[in-house]
Structure 1
Amino acid sequence: MNIIDIISYIGIFVFAIAGALKARTNEMDILGGLVIAFVTAYGGGTIRDVLLGIGPVNWINNNISLTLVLVASFIVFLSKRNIDKFKKTIFISDAIGLGMFTVLGIERSLAHGANSIYAILLGVISATFGGLLSDILCNRVPALLKNGEMYATVCAIGALLYIILMKARVDDNISMVLCVLVVVVIRIMSKLKNWSLPNI
């Protein structure tokens, strides 16, 4: 198991946690929670693989990935605390997932022939479109599109940094860690400081 696999599995787990908690805020049953956790964890990667023409998509026949989603959903199901206490957990889990899936999306895209610009774009799609789809299923305005949320923007910043470090021949592991940290820190700071893009 290499660092890309580790990043992938951690990203799947934290996104599944965030998705299952999101389902709880919408008072879904356990099946609904599993669906939202699954879509949150796999939606972006599935769209990326389809755009790259990769088949089967990355999660097919991967029992570890499926088990992580089931375990994450079960953990949320067993926890009966008030949902307000989970809001910070949802946000932090989502921020970590964003960083990890940005890196994963870039690496997979480059490995399948995408150039640097499209690798950045596909890294952002990998990180954000699972949340976009799950927000739609939960009848929410997606965080990706919402005013006052630096969501895709932080992924793009992290992705650009990763490509720059890669071009500068910085060690891959260091580049990955820095990309994830930048995405997480900027995402958290943007929430605390109310940073946002200008309205259209």
Structure 2
Amino acid sequence: MAITLSLDYTSVLIFALSGALAASRAQLDIVGFIFFASLTAVGGGTLRDLLLARDPVFWIADATPLAIAMAAAVLVFLTAHLLESRLKWLIWLDAGAVAIAVAAGVAVAREAGVSTGVVLVMGVATGTFGGLMRDVVANEVPLVLKQGELYVTAAFAGAGASLLGAHYITSQTPWPTVICVAVTFGLRAGSLLFGWRLPVYKTRPPRA
């Protein structure tokens, strides 16, 4: 439980920073920063908890995640102008947050005792939904839908690697979590740095 809570808090912080950076790119006021940071920070975890019927949702049971998100928003509001490329920072923060959030989603779902397929879905949903909400509200093309980039694939692979680690090593050690974070972030980083891509659909003219 302590590891799961730490994962939630860490992903909340990093996602909140990325949400606040999105607000800075949209040139919003401090309230807008807090809204974007909070939405991004708790979006994936909220979906996870609602689908798993966890009562109450994690940030209602403990308001610490909201406090973290608000602090991150204020920090970015005061310092975003110092960054040379806010978009680059946003993308890399998002990559780190996704990796940690997937691990948190898998851990929570496993504690809930759901099936393997549901654990995988919860890992992916926790890792991707907050960033998706951030980009949609910011009227940007969601990172999760960037053409061919490894995003959902990275999250799914990380969740699967965590389950394999728990099965073949042991679920009583932090290694499945470490493996999940490493695989998810490694694939996402490889897509950003080296152009790893999935094949994309290309239209063809109809036959005469």
Q: Do 1:148 and 1:194's aligned partners in 2 also have CA atoms closer than 8 Å?
A: no
Structure 1 counterpart of 2:54, one-letter code: I
Residue 150 (structure 2) aligns with: 150
- Report matched runs for 1:172-183 at 5 Å: 172-183=173-184
SS in 1 for 2:72: helix
Structure 1 counterpart of 2:121, one-letter code: L
Residue 42 (structure 1) aligns with: 42
Q: Do 2:25 and 2:86's aligned partners in 1 also have CA atoms closer than 8 Å?
A: no
- What TM-score comes out, normalization by structure 1 length? 0.93
- What TM-score comes out, normalization by structure 2 length? 0.90
Residue 192 (structure 1) aligns with: 193
Structure 2 counterpart of 1:147, one-letter code: Q
SS in 1 for 2:54: coil
- Report matched runs for 1:84-103 at 5 Å: 84-103=84-103
- Report matched runs for 1:21-170 at 5 Å: 21-81=21-81, 84-170=84-170
Paired with 1:103 and 1:91, the residues of 2 have a C-alpha distance of 19
Paired with 2:92 and 2:152, the residues of 1 have a C-alpha distance of 16
Paired with 1:199 and 1:105, the residues of 2 have a C-alpha distance of 28
CA-based RMSD: 1.6
SS in 2 for 1:199: coil
Paired with 1:129 and 1:191, the residues of 2 have a C-alpha distance of 20
Q: 1:36 to 1:119 in 2, by over 3 A?
A: same
Q: Do 1:24 and 1:83's aligned partners in 2 also have CA atoms closer than 8 Å?
A: no
Shift, 1:141, TM fit: 1.6
Shift, 1:116, TM fit: 1.1
% identity of equivalent residues: 33
Shift, 1:80, TM fit: 4.5
